Amino acid sequence: MTAPKSTPKSTPKSTPKIAPTRHAEPIVVPVALAERAYDIVIGRGLIGSLGARIKTLRPGAKVAIVTDETVAKHHLAACEAALKSAGIESSAIVVPPGEGSKDFTTFATVCEAIIAARIERGDIVVALGGGVIGDLAGFAAASARRGLDFVQVPTSLLAQVDSSVGGKTGINSRHGKNLVGAFHQPILVIADTALLDTLPKREFRAGYAEVAKYGLLGDAAFFTWLEANWQEVFAGAPAREHAIAVCCRGKAAIVARDERETGERALLNLGHTFGHALEAGAGFSQRLLHGEAVALGTALAFEFSARKGLIGADVAARARAHLAAAGLPTHLKDVPGGVPGIDALMDLIAQDKKVKRGKLTFILVRGIGQAFIENDVDPAQVRAFLAGQLSG
C-alpha cells in the first residue's frame, strides 16, 4: 500500500537564503521522548563541558569511554581531561577503526571490557567516535548489565547529524548491515563541531550525504539553501552549525513521533535500501563508505522514482547534480572495483530491515522534499531498474 500523497512533516521549513552568523551560546535541540527525553547540544569546544554535563545528569557515576584507535589519537585525552576535571573516574576501551568493528567479536570484547572495568548500573558509557562507535557502544550499553545509560560524543559529520540521534544501536551480520541491535536512547548528545576539524575530507564528504538527505526527504527550502551554501558548510563556517542543527531538529521531531520506526521514521532511510546493499556488496570496506553508499542510494532512489513516473527526470537530475558537486558518488560506475551482480544485489536488498513478510519497501519521492514510504514494491521492477543502471 502506498503512503498518503501529502508532503511529510519531516523537517521545519525555516532555512535562510544566506549562511547565519555563529551562535554565541551552544544550540540545544531537545528530543521529546517523555521519560527518555534528552538534549542534543551543538557548538564549538563543547568536549570540555562533558564532565560537568555528565555530573549534572548522573552525580557520582563512573564512565567507560568506547572509542577507536584513530579517534583516540585526536580526542581521547581531551575527553578524559574533561571527566577528570569534574571528578569523574573513567576507563577507556579502544577498538580498531572502521566498519569491521561492528561485528559480534568486537561487540563481545567491548561488553567484557565494560564489565571488567566494574561499570555498574547507574554508571555511564560514553561513545566517542563516528557512527560505527556510536552504534557499537550504544548496543553494548543496551546489553551489558541489561542496560546502562550512555552519552554520544559524535566525532564525524555523519554521526552528528544522524546516527548519534534517535537511539538506533547495533552491529552488522554477514547477511547485511545493522541486522542485530536494539533501540536504546542516549541521555545526552554533545556535537562538538570543532572535532570535525580533524576529519579527513573524504569522511566529511561522506557525512554530507546525510545532511543533503534531510532536505531531499522533507525540506525543499533546506535543500535549496544547501545548494547555495554547501561550500560554507564544508569550510567550517557558521553554516556548518546551522546545517547540523536543522538536521538534528528534523530527526528529533520524527523520532519523537515514531521512536521505534513503525511508520514515519522509515523516511529517514531515503537512499539506504539501495545504499546498504551496495555497502554490504563492497564488503563494508574503504571501497565505499557508508555516507558514500547513502549518496549513491539516494541518487538511485530519485532515478527509480523517475522511472516509476513519480517525478520528472529533471528532479532526479537536480538531486544527483548536487550530490555529485559535493564530490559524492552518484552512479554505480563510481564505486571502485565495481558492484555485485544483479542476483547478489537483489539478495542483499531482500535482507533490508524494512522488508515485511518478504515484501520490499522503498523510500521514494514525489519531488524535492516529498519522500514517502512505498510498500510492496515489485522485485521485478527493481531488478529491471538495476539492470539498466548496471548497463550504463
DSSP string, 157-226: HHIIIIITSS-EEEEEETTEEEEEEEE---SEEEEEGGGGGGS-HHHHHHHHHHHHHHHHHH-HHHHHHH
Q: Is 17 among the catalytic positions?
A: no
Q: Are 245 and 34 in contact (CB under 8 A)?
A: no
Q: Is 241 among the catalytic positions?
A: no
Q: Are 99 and 119 in contact (CB under 8 A)?
A: no
Q: Check 241, 261, 303, 374 and give the catalytic one.
A: 261
Q: Is 251 among the catalytic positions?
A: yes
Q: Is 175 among the catalytic positions?
A: no
- Enumerate residues 6+ apart whose C-beta is below 8 A from 262: none
Q: Check 75, 240, 265, 353 and give the catalytic one.
A: 265
Q: Check 177, 203, 269, 303 and give the catalytic one.
A: 269
Strand partners, 60: none
Q: Check 251, 320, 322, 353 and give the catalytic one.
A: 251
Q: Is 146 among the catalytic positions?
A: yes
Report d(CA 15, CA 73) in Å as an integer.
36
- Enumerate residues 6+ apart whose C-beta is below 8 A from 142: 148, 169, 182, 184
CA 36 to chain centre: 20
Q: Check 80, 99, 203, 210 and give the catalytic one.
A: 210
User: Which of 176, 58, 47 is closest to 122 using CA atoms?
Assistant: 58
Going from the C-alpha of 336 to that of each of 84, 172, 278, 391, the distances in angstroms are 45, 22, 12, 16
Report phi then psi at 280, rounded to 5.
-65, -40
Grid coordinates belonging to 65: 569511554
Q: Is the dihedral of CA 307, 274, 387, 347 positive or negative?
A: negative
User: Which of 157, 92, 99, 102 is closest to 128 using CA atoms?
Assistant: 92
Q: Check 5, 17, 146, 357 and give the catalytic one.
A: 146
Q: Check 272, 320, 322, 353 and give the catalytic one.
A: 272
Q: Check 75, 168, 184, 353 and give the catalytic one.
A: 168
Burial of 358 (0-12, 13-18, 19+ CB in 10 A): exposed
Q: Is 261 among the catalytic positions?
A: yes
Q: Is 168 among the catalytic positions?
A: yes
Q: Is 276 among the catalytic positions?
A: yes
Q: Check 242, 276, 320, 322 and give the catalytic one.
A: 276
Mind telling me the catalytic residues? 146, 168, 210, 251, 261, 265, 269, 272, 276, 290
